[in-house]
Structures are given as C-alpha cells and as structure tokens.
C-alpha cells in the first residue's frame, strides 16, 4: 500500500505542475514533439509549495543528521548513520517538526525517517 500511495501522490504532484515549463514530449499520433498542455489539476501555487516544503524538510534533515550522507534525492538519502528511524526533529526545525506531525497523523507512527533498506556492509538507505 505504501508504494501505491507514493505513486498516487507523485502522480498528483506531477499533474499539478504539468505544462508549466512548456516542455516538449513526443506525440505518437502526430509522430512529432509537441508542447505538453496543462492538465485539469494544474496548480502552480500548490506544486511550488509542495516542492519547496519537501526540499526545506530535506535540508533540515541533512543539516541535523550525524554521520555521512552519500546520496540525496527527494525520496530520501543514503547514509552510514545507524538509528536513522529513531531520529526526532528538533523543536526549532519548523519543517521537520511539521512533517513529523503529519506522518504521525497519517500513519500513527512517530517516525521522522523510515529506513527502507539496511546493508550490513555499512550503508543505510
């Protein structure tokens, strides 16, 4: 179910931003590249807010996570820090704190980060 909800959320955010940058995509009917038209769910305000919120939250996490971070995307990061699933936000971290509360309300778990993969060779993902 986690993957399904992630897919739905990413698709919704993608539809909110669809057509904003006038990007071209190949059209199989006309057999030529055409500018992607805005969809019914387009909302530059919400698309920008969601993107900014996630990036601010990730920046707070990067600045406050001990250990080394080897790779970072909006889906997460790769680190050698143990106990990432136990990290709680600092009260002064506005975005991490609100994200923590939102996850707690949605999942019932008090987790800021969810460990997706653990490798015994030293990297956590």
pLDDT value for 123: 55
Cβ proximity of 122 and 80 under 8 Å: yes
Residue 80 lies in a domain: yes
Show the domain range for 78.
43-125
Counting the structural domains of the chain, the total is: 1
pLDDT value for 41: 86
Model-wide pTM > 0.95: no
Residue 2 lies in a domain: no
CA distances from 13 to 7, 37, 55, 113 (A): 10, 16, 14, 21
What digits encode the pLDDT tens for the residues 54-93?
889 988 888 887 778 888 877 777 887 777 778 888 889 9
């Amino acid at each position: 179910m986690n993957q399904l909800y992630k897919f739905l959320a990413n698709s919704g955010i993608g539809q909110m931003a669809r057509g904003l940058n006038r990007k071209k995509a190949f059209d199989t009917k006309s057999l030529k590249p055409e500018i992607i038209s805005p969809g019914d769910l387009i909302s530059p305000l919400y698309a920008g807010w969601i993107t900014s919120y996630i990036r601010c939250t990730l920046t707070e996490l990067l600045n406050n996570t001990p250990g080394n971070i080897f790779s970072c995307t909006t889906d997460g990061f790769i680190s050698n820090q143990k106990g990432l699933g136990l990290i709680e936000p600092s009260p002064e971290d506005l975005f991490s704190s609100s994200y923590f509360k939102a996850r707690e309300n949605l999942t019932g778990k008090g987790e800021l980060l969810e460990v997706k993969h653990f490798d015994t060779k030293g990297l956590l993902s």
